Every structure is written in C-alpha cells, then in structure tokens.
A and B are shown apart, each in its own frame.
Chain A
Amino acid sequence: MGEKQTLDEEFQQFATARWPRLLRTAYLLTGEQHAAEDLVQSSLERVYVSWRKVSAADDPDAYVRRVMVNAHARKHRKRLKEYLSLNGDTGVDRELPERGDRMAQADDRAALLRALAQLPPRQREAVVLRYWEDLSEAQAAECMGCSVGAVKSNASKGLAKLRAIPVLAGAVGSRGTWG
C-alpha cells in the first residue's frame, strides 16, 4: 500500500470518528444545521490538505478545533447575524419531530442557540470551547489564538450575558439554576 493511500485511509478514519463531535461544536458556534455541516466540511478539507503534518502532530484534535474556530471567526460572523435577523429563529424547531416533550426540548435548545448567537463571536467561541468542549483556559487560548486572559474575559462576559438574556432565563429557569 502506498504512503498516499495510507494517509488517505488514516484521514478517513479520523474524519469519520471526529465528525459527530465536530458537528455538534460547529452547531453551537453557528446555530444552524447546514452552516454547521459546511463549517466542519470546509475545516476538514483544510486539515486534509496538511494531513501529513497534522497526523504527525501531538494533538490533531487541537489543530482541527483551531482551524474550525478560525474559519468560523472569518466566515460565519456576518452570515449568522443576517440569518437570525431574517428568520427570527434558528430553524431548529422545524427540523425536530413535533411530539410531546421533544417540542419543549426543542424550544429550550432553540432559546440557548439564539442566546449564543447574540453573543459576539469571540465570546461565543470562548463559551463553547470552555463549557462544551471542556477545554482548559490555556487550551482554549491556543485554539482561539489569543491570551489566557482574553479567554477568561470572553468566557466570563459571555456567561454573564447568557444569564442576562430574558428568553434564556425563562427557558432554563424552569429546570436549572444558572439562569
């Protein structure tokens, strides 16, 4: 088997294994199904271009996250604002089965996604990386290409803003405490 074929197979295995997790992170960053798929796909395309180096690195996942966060910062900032201002929601409700509890769950998810979308991109990235990806402040700083202090500040501000958004407080207040 040639080296190229081996690398391709390694990449396929990597992409297949990481796709669900990356897609969920992208979904929290973008707030929309198709945008999330596109973000992950374009990020993995970039990773594939440099796969020989990436696969030899200590932490390929960190590299992929960084590529994705950078791509999000570049491309999705303006688009998401336009999308939300045009549609007034994230489209999540329409894509989920309209049955019993799932409706309420979808409402809560949509409220959180809308609230996330209202955060400035850097704060959204800090919140998602710290509290969804469960990265340390240092790891999040490396991923975002900024200082640890900036991550602390962005995450703290993001958290405070999420708590202050009325629709989110209503959505999580019924079952949670952090609102």
Chain B
Amino acid sequence: MRDEGQSTVELDIELRAELAEELSADLAEAAEGVRVGPVPTAAVMAGGRRRRLRRRSVVTALALAVLLPAGGLTVAVATGGEETGSRGGVAAQPAAPGVFTPVTGTVGTVKLPNGTTKKIEVTVYGAPGTATVMFKQLDFARERGDLWSKLPEDMLVPAPSRQPFAHMWFSVAFVEGDKREPLPMGPISLHQTGSLHISPVDRTMGVGIAPRGSSVEVDWRKGQKARPRLVSVPGVDAVKFYIVAIPENVVNLQPIITFHNQEGEAIPTIPQS
C-alpha cells in the first residue's frame, strides 16, 4: 500500500512539473502578444518627479481671505497655489500640461464644520485631440487618482456638443496629509469660463474659472459681498481659478456670482454645470 501511495505522489509531482513547463511555455507565448514600443523614460521620470513633489508639497500661504463670515464654513485661498519642492533653492520652470503629463497646483484650503482642514488641488490635463486618446487619458487620470474612480460613465465623458477632445480640462481633489481624495466631479473643460462646479455629494465648495481679465464678486444679499481671490496653477498661468464656499441653505450660486471687466462692467457667463 505504501508503495502504491508513494508511486502516486511521484506521478503527481512528475505531472505537475510537466504541467508547469507547459504553462510556462504558453504564458511566454501569450506574453509575446504585447507590443513593445519605445520606452517612455522621459514621461516616467516626469511622473516620478511629480510624485516626489506631491509628497513634499507644502501650502505656501494660508488664511488670506475668509469668504463666509457667518456660514460656519470658511475657505482660505492660498496666494499662488503653487506646489514647492526642495530643489536646492533653484525654482524649476513649470511646464505646460500635456496629455499624459498633467500639472497639479494647490488653489486653496477649506476648513470643514468638523474642524478638519483640507487643501484643494486642481490638476490640469492637456487637450487629448482625439476620442481614442481621450478615453486613454481619462483611464490614466482615474488610475493616477486625479478623477474619482467611481465616477459613472455619463459623468466621465463630457457631452459631444462640448467638443471634449479640443480643450484642456481639470479635476479637483481634497488633500489631507498624505491622503488625496478626488472629488466626485467629472472632468471640466477649461473653456467653461464663468461657470461654477460644485462638489455634488457634500456641496461644501465650488470651483470655477474666471473669464480672462475679470474679477469675481459674490453678493450674499445681506449687505455682505466677497471677492474670491483668483489663483493659477503652475504652467497654466493664464487660467484663473476661484473657490467659493457653499452655505447649507444655498442651492444655486449662479445668480449671486458676477464677473466684472477692468472697467467694472458685468460680463455675461455660460450656465452652471
């Protein structure tokens, strides 16, 4: 009986070795199906530098403007919104955002009613140009943590009428310590100046882009007015972001936000999305 059992074990080991050899060969053949293109070392190193910068990022200035005096929620906008890294005292020239090389900048901080303070980061991507590249880019952004991973498809892909391939776009994330949390918002085209994009779940704040050369004013209709500071991110200096804290009882901020040109005239804007 022992001999039979021993033979069975030996046979099993032999069979397993043979199977493993066959499987190795089949896996090698399947692996040959991948196309090995040029090695993107520049993109890899750029991505690595961004990760390093994100780790070292600090807010350069805090508490410059309290937007809501009595709302229980305050937004303090940082001066430049730029991230800084230790570079031996030499400031690196910020690059413009590419299709797969986005730029990220801190545009403000938000203090929530529970007392926690979170940084607000905006990440800007270059225009994808084609639908194929756009889908790959959106996947890339989700995997990189720039877009909410649970975003439904209809929120992920902008409507065709907006010509989503033609424009740079941005996403928004909260950052608390090492934790980075993309807000449940879709990608927002940079050409949507004047609109305000409110985080749909917690509605704690909205991010918008001011029309070029304009100032932003929020009229709270109780004699209180505020002028949110305009902030840009490195590499996209021409685009001015603004942040507005959302009080609990306000549903639509569009009627109380106005933009003015340098002469003080009101500028018409496109609808809120």
Select from chain A the residue with minimum beta-carbon distance to B145: A75
Q: B2-45, CB under 8 A of A: which get 1 and which 0?
A: 00000000000000001110111111111111111101110111
- In the complex, A16 Cα to B21 Cα: how many Å? 29
A159→B19 contact, CB < 8 A: yes
Q: If the complex has contacts A109-B30, A109-B32, are A131 and B144 also in contact, measured as CB distance less than 8 A?
A: no
In the complex, A61 has a CB within 8 A of chain B:
no
In the complex, B225 has a CB within 8 A of chain A:
no
Give 23 pairs: A residue, B residue, CB < 8 Å, sorted on A: A15-B39, A15-B44, A20-B36, A23-B36, A27-B34, A38-B139, A48-B49, A51-B48, A92-B33, A95-B35, A112-B27, A112-B30, A113-B30, A113-B33, A131-B24, A134-B24, A162-B23, A177-B18, A177-B19, A177-B22, A178-B22, A178-B23, A178-B26
Q: If the complex has contacts A34-B139, A41-B40, are A131 and B34 also in contact, measured as CB distance less than 8 A?
A: no
Select from chain A the residue with minimum beta-carbon distance to B43: A41
- In the complex, A127 Cα to B49 Cα: how many Å? 33
In the complex, A88 has a CB within 8 A of chain B:
no
B139→A132 contact, CB < 8 A: no
Chain A residues packing against B (C-beta within 8 Å): 8, 11-12, 15-16, 19-20, 23-25, 27-28, 33-38, 41-42, 44-49, 51, 75, 79, 92, 95-96, 105-106, 108-110, 112-113, 116, 127-128, 130-132, 134, 159, 162-163, 172, 176-178
- In the complex, A22 Cα to B160 Cα: how many Å? 37
How close is A28's CB to chain B, nearest CB, in angstroms?
6
How close is A112's CB to chain B, nearest CB, in angstroms?
4
- In the complex, A44 Cα to B41 Cα: how many Å? 9
In the complex, B136 has a CB within 8 A of chain A:
yes
Interface of B is mostly: helix
In the complex, B140 has a CB within 8 A of chain A:
yes
The number of residues on chain B lying at the interface, defined by a beta carbon within 8 Å of a beta carbon of chain A, is 36
- In the complex, A127 Cα to B27 Cα: how many Å? 9
Select from chain B the residue with minimum beta-carbon distance to A90: B33
How close is B207's CB to chain A, nearest CB, in angstroms?
26
- In the complex, A47 Cα to B99 Cα: how many Å? 22
In the complex, B143 has a CB within 8 A of chain A:
yes
Q: If the complex has contacts A41-B47, A96-B33, are A178 and B28 also in contact, measured as CB distance less than 8 A?
A: no
- In the complex, A112 Cα to B29 Cα: how many Å? 10
B24 proximity list for chain A (CB < 8 A):
131-132, 134
Select from chain B the residue with minimum beta-carbon distance to A162: B23
A131→B20 contact, CB < 8 A: yes
- In the complex, A30 Cα to B134 Cα: how many Å? 20
- In the complex, A25 Cα to B39 Cα: how many Å? 15
Select from chain B the residue with minimum beta-carbon distance to A4: B88
